[in-house]
Structure 1
Amino acid sequence: MRSFDASELNTPQLQNYLQHAIAPRPIALVSTIDQAGNVNLSPFSFFNLFSANPPVCVFSPSRRVKDNTTKHTLENLYEVRECVINIVDHNILHKVNQCSADYPKGINEFKQTGLTELTSLQVKPPRVAESPVQLECSVIHIMPLGKGPGAGNLVLAEVKQIHFKENLLDSQGLPIQENFDLVARLGGNWYCRVTPENLFKLPKP
Structure 2
Amino acid sequence: MLIDFAGLKPVEAYEWMSALIVPRPIAWVSTLDGQGRANLAPFSFFQMITGKPPTLLICPLLQRGGKLKDTVNNISASGEFVVNLAGPAQAQVLNATSFPFEAGVSEFEACGLQAAPSRLVQPPRVEGAVASFECKLAMMEPYPRHEPSCHLIFGQVLAAHVDDQLLDADGKLDPGQVDLLFRMGGEWYGRSRTESNFTLPRPR
Shorter-normalised TM range? over 0.9
- How much identity, in percent, do the aligned residues show? 32
Which residue is 1:6 aligned to?
Answer: 5
CA offset digits 1:16-57 (Å, max 9, x no partner): 000001110000000011221121100000001110010000
Give the unaligned 5+ runs of structure 2: none
CA offset digits 1:114-133 (Å, max 9, x no partner): 11110110001001011010
Equivalent residues in 2 for 1:19-168, closer than 5 Å: 19-64=18-63, 66-146=64-144, 151-168=149-166
Q: Tell me if the contact between 2:28 and 2:86 (Cα under 8 Å) persists in the aligned partners.
A: yes
TM-score between the two structures when normalised by the length of structure 2:
0.95
Specify the code of the residue in structure 2 equivalent to 1:144.
P
Deviates more, 1:15-24 or 1:178-187: 178-187
Deviates more, 1:143-152 or 1:184-193: 143-152
Q: Tell me if the contact between 1:134 and 1:162 (Cα under 8 Å) persists in the aligned partners.
A: yes
Give the unaligned 5+ runs of structure 1: none
Q: SS of 1:181's equivalent?
A: coil
Deviates more, 1:153-162 or 1:180-189: 180-189
- Please give the alpha-carbon distance, in whole angstroms, between the structure 1 residues aligned to 2:155 and 2:175: 24
TM-score between the two structures when normalised by the length of structure 1:
0.94
Q: CA deviation at 1:82?
A: 0.3
Distance 1:184 1:96, change over 3 A: same
- Please give the alpha-carbon distance, in whole angstroms, between the structure 2 residues aligned to 1:68 and 1:5: 26
Deviates more, 1:6-15 or 1:16-25: 6-15
Q: CA deviation at 1:148?
A: 8.5
The aligned length equals 203
Which residue is 2:168 aligned to?
Answer: 170
Specify the code of the residue in structure 2 equivalent to 1:158.
Q
